[in-house]
């Protein structure tokens, strides 16, 4: 499959995935998600690690609002479930998946990062879930996973107020594992590639297996609830909310 909205490469045994829709701040259109799904299903299991990144000013601005605006409730439910299942493919990888975030990481972009095993962020990173402003909710695991990293009251606060999650708080609660200077995105990517290429992959995979097994919960029904609520809200409120947002711009 030839990719249009993602770039993929391999450095020795480490895979690098770059979101590549810069004219839309890497907003997740359905074609991009389909490309992610194909890539996640085809990446060799012998890979040492997968690094996901964007550009200096934006990791991913979230879902494509104009595209979502035209969905029926049934289509929205299917879309939510498909994106959820695509992102959850990350959980099945035996090797670590690292999101390196610089600039805007909003909505669906933050949901993609949350499905990674850990996250490294530049000091210009902006982490937020803006969906409630449009009369809808995150639909790709955000309402499920944010509460895994912070108390439920904190998750509720950031999901409902749409405020940026301060980077200091993100580090303390384990949402972000490390910060770097915004001008050193390429340097940080290189550091991670070099680290995984020189580290014993079997030991790394064993650590991931144990940690994921220890932390694994049955979240299937919560993902289904999120998809249903996302679809209903998008159909009833979100389409007009998105339209109003574009009118105000």
pLDDT in tens, the chain (249 residues): 899 999 999 999 999 999 999 999 999 999 999 999 999 999 999 999 999 999 989 999 998 888 887 888 888 889 889 999 999 999 889 999 999 999 999 999 999 999 999 999 999 999 999 988 888 888 888 888 999 899 999 999 999 999 999 999 999 999 999 999 989 999 999 999 999 999 888 888 888 887 776 565 566 667 777 677 777 777 676 455 555 554 555
What pLDDT does residue 100 have?
Answer: 97
- Say if 203 falls within a structural domain: no
What does R_g of the chain's alpha carbons equal in angstroms? 17
In terms of DSSP bridges, do strands 97-101 and 104-106 run parallel, antiparallel, or are they unpaired? unpaired
Alpha-carbon span 197 to 201, nearest angstrom: 8
- Helices marked H in the chain: 30-42, 65-69, 73-88, 108-114, 142-145, 152-161, 167-173, 185-198, 201-215, 220-233, 239-248
- Say if 171 falls within a structural domain: yes
**Distance set, CA 92 to CA 69, 234, 248 (Å):** 32, 29, 42
Number of domains in the chain: 1
For the entire predicted model, the pTM comes to 0.88
- Say if 50 falls within a structural domain: yes
Contacts of 228 (CB under 8 A, 6+ apart): 77
- Helices marked H in 136-184: 142-145, 152-161, 167-173
- Say if 236 falls within a structural domain: no
- Say if 158 falls within a structural domain: yes
In terms of DSSP bridges, do strands 6-11 and 14-19 run parallel, antiparallel, or are they unpaired? antiparallel
- Record the tokens describing residue 138, joined without a space: 């995150």
- Say if 51 falls within a structural domain: yes
User: What's the sign of the alpha-carbon dihedral 144, 150, 151, 157?
Assistant: negative
Range of the domain at 80: 6-182
* CATH code of the domain covering residue 39: 3.90.226.10
On whether the CB atoms of residues 77 and 231 are closer than 8 A, the answer is yes
What pLDDT does residue 135 have?
Answer: 85
- Say if 206 falls within a structural domain: no
């Amino acid at each position: 499959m030839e990719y249009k909205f993602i770039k993929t490469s391999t450095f020795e045994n480490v895979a690098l995935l770059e979101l590549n829709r810069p004219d839309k701040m890497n907003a997740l259109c359905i074609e991009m998600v389909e490309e992610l799904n194909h890539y996640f299903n085809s990446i060799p299991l012998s890979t040492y690690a997968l690094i996901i990144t964007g550009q200096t000013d934006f990791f991913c601005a979230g879902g494509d609002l104009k595209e979502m605006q035209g969905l029926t409730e049934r289509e929205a439910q299917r879309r939510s479930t498909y994106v959820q299942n695509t992102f959850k493919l990350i959980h099945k990888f035996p090797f670590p998946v690292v999101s390196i975030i610089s600039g805007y990481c909003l909505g669906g972009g933050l949901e993609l990062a949350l499905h990674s095993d850990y996250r490294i962020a530049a000091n210009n990173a902006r982490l937020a879930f803006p969906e409630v402003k449009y009369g809808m909710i995150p639909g790709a695991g955000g309402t499920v996973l944010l509460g895994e990293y912070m108390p439920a009251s904190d998750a509720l606060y950031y999901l409902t107020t749409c405020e940026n999650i301060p980077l200091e708080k993100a580090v303390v609660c384990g949402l972000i594992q490390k910060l770097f200077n915004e001008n050193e995105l390429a340097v940080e990517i290189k550091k991670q590639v070099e680290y995984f290429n020189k580290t014993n992959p079997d030991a790394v995979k064993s650590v991931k297996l144990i940690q994921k097994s220890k932390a694994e919960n049955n979240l299937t029904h919560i993902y289904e609830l999120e998809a249903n609520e996302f679809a209903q809200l998008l159909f009833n409120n979100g389409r007009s909310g998105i339209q109003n947002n574009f009118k105000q711009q």
